[in-house]
Amino acid sequence: MTNGNSKIRIFLADDHTLFRQALRQVLEREADFEVVGEAEDGVETTEKVSTLKPDVVLMDINMPLVDGVKAAEIICQQDPAVRVVILTMYRQDRYAFQAIKAGAWGYLLKTVDSQELAHSIRAVHRGEALVNPATALKVLEEFRHPVAQEEREDTAELILRLVSKGASNQGIAQALFLSEKTVENRLSLIFQKLHLNNRVQAALYALRKGLVSLDQGEVQED
């Protein structure tokens, strides 16, 4: 989703104006980052993200009108290509669990330093998940119910394995001797059939099915 100059387009969602301003200053020091918009509540966030189509959304949980978890769910349903990262002061596992279940790609605390934050944004933009193992296991428990019309073809399993290892569509195409368009179409079908919102949930599904082990996938600690 990057634009012509290859910068990562970032949207900031937080109800504290001073924090947003400080965060914008920190991020704009990075040559490959561009802050394209801000919002102070969940409703404004979903509306602006729908229009601006950023690559990454950094969003707090505790926001007016619509909280960050619900806003993440709406954004991910509207455009699964947008990577939402929760940036909050809440350390509780239940918030991280709810956020990842809603479709967020990562969960970071506001105590993170600027270098780690920048690294995390780039990692999520590459398609890597920022989820600690405990939260991953909790989400896996949610996926224990049978999946209707589960994709069983060997190619689909190979694609899921590669997604779990953090491979891009281009990397998957090269590994399986397919075109990127074919990979994109097959991923879309897999997501629809398995009721998955993004690559994070696809990786978690692959873990549940035993296609990869927890230490082989790209599900990482934050």
Interval 82-129: pLDDT, tens: 999 999 888 776 777 788 878 888 888 888 899 999 999 999 998 887
Co-location of 179 and 94 in the same domain: no
On whether the pTM is more than 0.85, the answer is no
Co-location of 32 and 93 in the same domain: yes
When divided into structural domains, the chain yields a total of 2
Count Cα neighbours of 121 within 13 Å in the Cβ-side half-sphere: 29
Co-location of 106 and 42 in the same domain: yes
Last residue of a domain, one of 130, 149, 177: 130
Q: Show the domain range for 213.
A: 140-220
In the DSSP assignment, the letter for residue 113 is: -
Q: By the 8 A CB rule, do 11 and 58 touch?
A: yes
Give SS3 for 197. Answer: coil
Last residue of a domain, one of 102, 130, 158: 130
Q: By the 8 A CB rule, do 205 and 146 touch?
A: no
In a domain, residue 84? The reply is yes
Last residue of a domain, one of 66, 101, 130: 130
Q: pLDDT value at position 139? A: 63
